[in-house]
Amino acid sequence: MKNNPWDNFSKNYNSQVTKSGDIYHKTYLNPLVLKLLGDLKNKKVLDLACGNGYFSKILAKKNAKVTGVDYSKDLISIAKENSKINFLHGSSTNLHFFKNNSFDYIVSNMAFHDIKNISKTIKECSRVIKPKQKLIFSIVHPAFYLTKRIKEDKEYFLKLKAYMSVLELDHPIYEGIKHYHRPVGYYLKLLFKNKFVVSGFYEISTKHRKGKLIKEPKLLKYKQEFPTFLVIEATSIK
Ligand SMILES: C[S@@+](CC[C@H](N)C(=O)[O-])C[C@H]1O[C@@H](n2cnc3c(N)ncnc32)[C@H](O)[C@@H]1O
């Protein structure tokens, strides 16, 4: 496997994400994803592109039988520290360690937009998931990503630079890392091609906190109106 630029940021990433995830995981993503997963007792769960493994550890505490896979050797080493969870170094594009129909659930938080070959990744997800079971992934909402905030007539608007193109971009924080903009329909097309149906579609703005809709009049309206994250639940119909 080629040298992974994520290795250069493993310590930095680990210090930001900590044991319960960063502020975005904690506030917006984890509560929803955990609610969608429901009762995890004895469920076989793959945490794909698991990073430092913090979410795998949360799932294991809920009695799931978890396996975490990540392309960064260094993040996998960090994940393995003081843990009995099965953490594996590998790519989402070739999940050769697993037989067909191995998992009840596949979760992938904030990673599909960091994965270059998403087509092979979703194909592999389809292969290793059990029929009728769920793949749940969260990404930065692509429709509101390539935007700039502008103020006009005392109101904020988002000015959109691009949406329909598939683009390889420089990561805004981590130098040398690429990430990928794809329209929502691009992900949906791949899911349908690989025998998934979309069974849940959640657009998350600051109106959401810990899995609930909240009213916070002090928050800027544009922040409430434009979703930052998208969570998709896809059910296998293979
Ligand atoms: C933003 S981090 C998210 C990590 C973790 N899921 C979280 O929520 O903290 C993106 C992760 O994707 C991983 N990654 C990128 N390409 C990958 C691939 N082809 N296969 C597996 N992991 C990959 C990186 O190593 C990195 O850990």
Instruction: Please tell me whether residue 185 adopts helix, strand or coil conformation.
Output: helix
Distance 220 CA to ligand 1 centre (A): 31
Mutate to test the pocket of ligand 1, among 98, 115, 125 (most ligand atoms within 8 A of CB): 115
Domain count within the chain: 1
pLDDT above 70: residue 160: yes
pLDDT score recorded for residue 3: 66
Residues with CB under 6 A from ligand 1: 6, 17, 25, 49-51, 55, 69-72, 75, 91-93, 109-111, 114-115
In terms of DSSP H, where are the helices of the chain? 10-17, 23-24, 30-37, 54-61, 73-80, 118-128, 184-193, 221-225
Residue 27 DSSP class: I
Q: Which atom of ligand 1 is nearest to the CA of 21?
A: 9
In terms of DSSP H, where are the helices of 104-164? 118-128
Distance 50 CA to ligand 1 centre (A): 6
Distance 158 CA to ligand 1 centre (A): 28
Distance 67 CA to ligand 1 centre (A): 14
Range of the domain at 81: 5-236
Buried residues in 130-162 as b, exposed as e (16+ CB within 10 A): eeebbbbbbbbbbebbbeeeeeeeeeeeeeeee
Q: Between 67 and 224, where is the model more confident?
A: 67
CATH number of the domain that residue 169 is part of:
3.40.50.150
Instruction: Please tell me whether residue 42 adopts helix, strand or coil conformation.
Output: coil
Gap between the Cα atoms of 212 and 194, Å rounded: 31
Buried residues in 189-203 as b, exposed as e (16+ CB within 10 A): ebbeebebeeeeebb
Pick the closest to residue 28 from 203, 202, 210, 201 (CA basis).
210
pLDDT above 80: residue 225: yes
- 99-157 pLDDT, tens digit per residue, is 999 999 999 999 999 999 999 999 999 999 999 999 999 999 999 988 888 989 888 88
Residue 112 contacts residue 86 (beta carbons within 8 Å)? no
